[in-house]
Amino acid sequence: MSLTLTNLLFYQHRLSRHCATVTVVERHDDHLRPASLAPACVRLRRSTPRLFPLCRAIGDEAHSESNHSFSSMSPDIQRPIGDKSSVDGYVGLFVRMLGLDNDPLDREQAINTLWKYSQGGKKCIDGIMQFPGCINLVVSLLKSESSSACAAAAGLLHIVSAVSMYRDAIAESGAIEEISRLLCQHTLTSEVKKQSLCTLWNLSIDEKLRERISKGYLLPIIVKFLDDEEIKVKEAAGGVIANLTLSHHLHSLLVEAGVIPKLVVLLGNDDKEYKVIHNEAEVALLELSVDEYYRIFIIEEGLVRVPLIGAAAYKSFRSPTHSWPSLPDGTKIEKTSTPSRFGASDLLVGLTICEKSINLEEATADAIVGRSRQEFLARIGAIEVDGQDQKYTLLPWVDGIARLVLILRLEDVSGITKAAYAIADASISEHMRKSFKEAGAVGLLVQLMQHNSETVREAVAHALDRLSLSNIVRKKIEEEGVLKPLTSILKEPSTSNFLLEKAVCILSRIFEADSSINMELYENITDDSDHTNNNEVVSDVRKVTDASSHEEMKREVLNDSVFISRLIEMLRTSSPSLQVKLASILEYLVILEKNVAVVMAGGIEVALDAVFRKGSTNGMENDIDNGLAQYYIETEEIGLATAAASRLLARLLDFNQCYQIIDSGHFTVLLRDILKSSIPLHTKDWIAACLVKLDSKVSNTSELGYPIEKEVVLYETIPRLVNEMSSSFSHQDQETAVKELNKIISQGVIDYTKAVATAGGIFPLVKLIEEVSGDALEASLSLLYNLSMDIENHSAIVAAGAVPVLKRIVLSEGPQWTHALRILRTLPT
């Protein structure tokens, strides 16, 4: 029996409309008659199907760990809720018509009929899927040249994939690979693209299928469809990406495909028709924001992650409606002498600003706009909606900053903590840090440093630490009086390590910046006093006086023996990264001679000994067992800590009262050991300087073996010059380095020559000979000759390519050809 297109159209008409009568006919002897497959007349009870509203899923719900409570599915799947008579026998007929041996037009009509029939709900889907191999036939139609057949096949896969029990069968049939091939075509209709992407949307609910979807060239294609002109295609592509973001190990692939800028653009579209894609874009971006690095990318695109704390938390908000208006950072607006007749100038900041012709900076204007919006939403109770499952939302940075500052003014401890951490996360650039300052965040954060909850103080200290990276914001933090709460935190014995670390970081930035600023200010006044008028000098002196008074106020707070003793104790027991900052703070404190006695009495010698012992060769050999990468990180931190401690020790040696307490010989031995260790070369400069200063206090240098100067040259000067000669981008620096090395080697000390070879100086020296001329070339050849006197260096000199270079110099008969010839005679050539 063979069915014709006429028979197929007849079945399609009856099945799609659920008619009262179905007559199955076949062609026989050029006549149409009822077929034997079914009764001539089959009465079906007509029922008008009622459809569910657009639903998120048919089947399983995949839960996420973050804001999206389930893996989303294609939203345009409908199911009837009325009774439906069984038509399984006729479904089988159409499934058989999908066979590859049938006419392409018949197959197209059959797949269209089955697609429409599958929209009747899960019972209809089960009726189709009961036939083995039907999915393989449907997938094969994705290769059809007919757009209608491709769309119907993708649409049927879209509907069937909504049922969780059939997803594996669809994936095993090769549907993902066929859809990948199909989406690569440039001449696809919107319906084909939509149905294909919706199928992937449903399949991506399964975590193991997300791996297959993200592999190969399919992921960049899906991301590209976010720019499609058809809104439904964008929705489907956004749904797939939202599900893929639920697997955090796929985030790197998504970011590399450029998904973040596209999602941010879609999220910023407020059109009603973009509601679905708006939600999916927000879900995807929130999932990506779990990673701190990808969160930075999102912030750079102009969005800020803001915690949702519940509408009830905003009930404690009280807007200062009846107070005189001020800018968000707390700056008071000067009252006008001619107030508005109806009191508008008391309420509207803009009137006073316009009257005084004040030009606001853009950051200040943005802060005013953001504060007005968020306070208005809080007053009317529309800032958050109860019942939301999300923990965070994404807002444009103007509104996001204002919202976070508003949360800091509430009484909700959990909300304040989340907002402070969010401020720290968002403070990634100078623009963002300055925006938080203009919005009034600094003053609120400094006040919260005295909060009763240590959890709040930890979050606030973290935020202030990130904000203090900006010099402008750091000054504001200091002006708000942060020193007092910070010193109180350090003196508390029960303070957590995290809070101690953040407090030390903030203090070290304040002291380091103030030291450099005051030094530059005094130098400028001294240099320019001869050619400036009296008014400028008076102005500069006032600046110095103000700075000095500020310093006196600061030192009154910091001249506390308990506080200094606590710093010294932390220096002895803290990690190397924190020891760097603690040594910097103590170095600032001993600028005043009266603090030196307190520092010495607090046990600074024991603390410095603990720091130096970590950097000694014996103290670093055991750390390599933790792994090579971790070893290099720890070595860098230990090197920086020993350099900072050496700088502090050198500062203490400037005071005579320290000579009677500090054991110069003991520290000389420790620092010599550190100089020979594997700490980074750039951290050895202060160690060498401190050694030279200690050398003058050692009574018997013969007990130490080599003189201090010689060890400094061997382990600091020569390696540093070799490094400059090999890695510097400036030819002038390279020439200076080779000249200095030649002077050192010319002293005739054999150990110096070995040190140059050990530091790897032969290869960069030969390369430099090819590039330089004049005095630098003469110094290079002289250095190479001294190296060639040691037979152990011959193989390295030859391997570096010195022989052809020297021959060229000899053949050129230039001023240095005799030096080159002398070197060639010493080499085994």
pLDDT digits (tens, 9 = 90+) for 199-253: 999 999 999 999 999 888 899 999 999 999 999 999 999 999 999 999 999 999 9
Q: Is the pLDDT of residue 22 over 50?
A: no
Backbone angles phi and psi of 702, in degrees to 5: -65, -25
Secondary structure class of 750 (helix, strand, coil): helix
What is the reported pLDDT for 619? 52
Percentage of the chain modeled with pLDDT above 70: 76
Average confidence (pLDDT) over 35-62: 31
Provide the terminal-to-terminal Cα distance of the chain, rounded to the nearest Å. Answer: 95
- Distance CA(619)–CA(623), nearest Å, equals 8
Closest-CA residue to 127 (of 136, 116, 118)? 118
Q: What is the pLDDT of residue 25?
A: 32
Rounded Cα–Cα distance for residues 345 and 325 (Å): 9
Categorize the per-residue pLDDT at 17 as very low, low, confident or very high, splitting at 50, 70 and 90: very low
**Least reliable range by pLDDT among 175-179, 306-310, 316-320:** 316-320
Closest CA to 91 of 31, 167, 38: 38
Query: Which residue has better confidence, 699 or 430?
Result: 430
Residue 505, Cβ density class (10 Å: 0-12 exposed, 13-18 middle, ≥19 buried) = buried
Separation of alpha carbons 519 and 162, rounded Å: 71
Residue 132 pLDDT: 85
Q: Which range in 552-556, 637-641, 818-822 is most confidently predicted, on average pLDDT?
A: 637-641
Average pLDDT score over residue span 582-586: 91
Q: What span, in angstroms and rounded, lies between the C-alpha atoms of 599 and 572? A: 13
Q: State the amino acid at position 716 in one-letter form.
A: E
Find how far residue 141's CA is from the centre of its chain.
45
Q: Identify the pLDDT of residue 493.
A: 84
**Overall average pLDDT of the 709-724 stretch:** 83
Work out the pLDDT band at 400, boundaries 50, 70, 90.
very high
Main-chain phi, psi angles of 392, to 5 degrees = -140, 165
What count of Cα atoms within 13 Å lies in the side-chain half-sphere of residue 576? 19
Highest mean pLDDT: which of 69-78, 543-552, 740-749? 740-749
Is pLDDT above 50 for 535?
A: no
Of 77-86, 170-179, 227-236, give the lowest mean pLDDT range: 77-86
Q: How confident is the prediction for the chain on average, in pLDDT?
A: 78
What mean pLDDT is predicted for residues 133-158? 91
Q: Give the DSSP letter of residue 97.
A: T
- CA distance linking residue 256 with residue 241, whole number of Å: 13
pLDDT, position 70: 41
Which residues are CB-contacts of 74 (< 8 A; sequence separation ≥ 6)?
158, 162, 198, 199, 201, 202, 236, 239
More confident residue, 47 or 153: 153
Higher confidence at residue 288 or residue 50?
A: 288
- Which has the minimum average pLDDT: 326-330, 414-418, 536-540? 536-540
Q: Which string of DSSP letters, residue by residue, matches 739-771?
A: HHHHHHHTT--HHHHHHHHHTT-HHHHHHHHHH
Banded pLDDT at 341 (limits 50, 70, 90): very low
User: Rounded to 5 degrees, what are φ and ψ at 473?
Assistant: -70, -35
- Identify the H or E element spanning 671: helix 664-676
- Distance between CA atoms of 694 and 672, rounded to whole angstroms? 11
Residue identified by tokens 């005579």 is: 656
What confidence category does residue 406 fall into, taking pLDDT thresholds of 50, 70 and 90? very high
Count Cβ neighbours within 10 Å for each residue of 780-817 and write b for 16 or more, e otherwise: bbbbbbbbbeeeebbebbeebebbebbeebbeeeeebb
Confidence of residue 506 (pLDDT cuts 50, 70, 90): very high
Beta-bridge partners for 392: 307
* In the predicted structure, residue 343 carries a pLDDT above the cut 50: no
**pLDDT value, residue 543:** 46
Which pLDDT belongs to residue 771? 83
31-34 and 25-28 strand pairing = antiparallel
Side-chain-side CA neighbours of 110 within 13 Å: the count stands at 26
pLDDT of residue 253: 93
Confidence grade of residue 326 (pLDDT, cut at 50, 70, 90): low
Element (H, E) at 647: helix 628-652
Rounded to an integer, the average pLDDT of 708-713 is 79
DSSP for residue 87: -
Please say whether the beta carbons of 427 and 387 come within 8 A: no
Q: Which residue has the higher pLDDT, 70 or 766?
A: 766
Q: Rounded mean pLDDT of 732-746?
A: 86
More reliable by pLDDT, 456 or 327: 456
Output the six-digit token pair for 152: 């119907």
- Mean pLDDT is lowest, of 78-82, 649-653, 673-677, 770-774, for 78-82
The residue ranking higher by pLDDT, 340 or 585, is 585
* DSSP string of 279-299, one letter each residue: HHHHHHHHHHTTSHHHHHHHH
334 phi and psi, to 5 degrees?
A: -65, 135
Structure tokens at 815: 């001023």
With a CB cutoff of 8 Å and minimum separation 6, the contacts of 512 are: 584, 588
Average pLDDT over residues 492-505: 91
User: What DSSP element (H or E) covers 550?
Assistant: helix 534-558
Half-sphere exposure of 542 (CA within 13 A, CB side): 6
Question: Which range, 155-159, 326-330, 764-768, has the best average confidence (pLDDT)?
Answer: 155-159
pLDDT at 597: 84
Enter the tokens of residue 814. Answer: 């230039």
Query: Nearest 5°: phi and psi at 161?
Result: -70, -10
The pLDDT, as a whole number, for residue 332 is 54
Residue 675 has pLDDT above 80, yes or no: yes
- Weakest mean pLDDT among 19-23, 134-138, 186-190: 19-23
Torsion of CA 316, 322, 324, 328, to 10 degrees: 30
Count CB neighbours of 418 within 10 A.
Answer: 20
Asked if pLDDT for residue 618 goes beyond 70, the answer is no
CA-CA distance, 533 to 537, in Å (whole number)?
6
Q: Are 521 and 544 in contact (CB under 8 A)?
A: yes
Which has the higher per-residue pLDDT, 801 or 361? 801
Alpha-carbon distance of 500 to 491, in angstroms, equals: 10
Range scoring the smallest mean pLDDT among 395-399, 476-480, 513-517, 690-694: 513-517
**CA–CA distance from 5 to each of 24, 26, 38, 156, 723 (Å)?**
13, 10, 18, 21, 83
pLDDT at 369 over 90: no
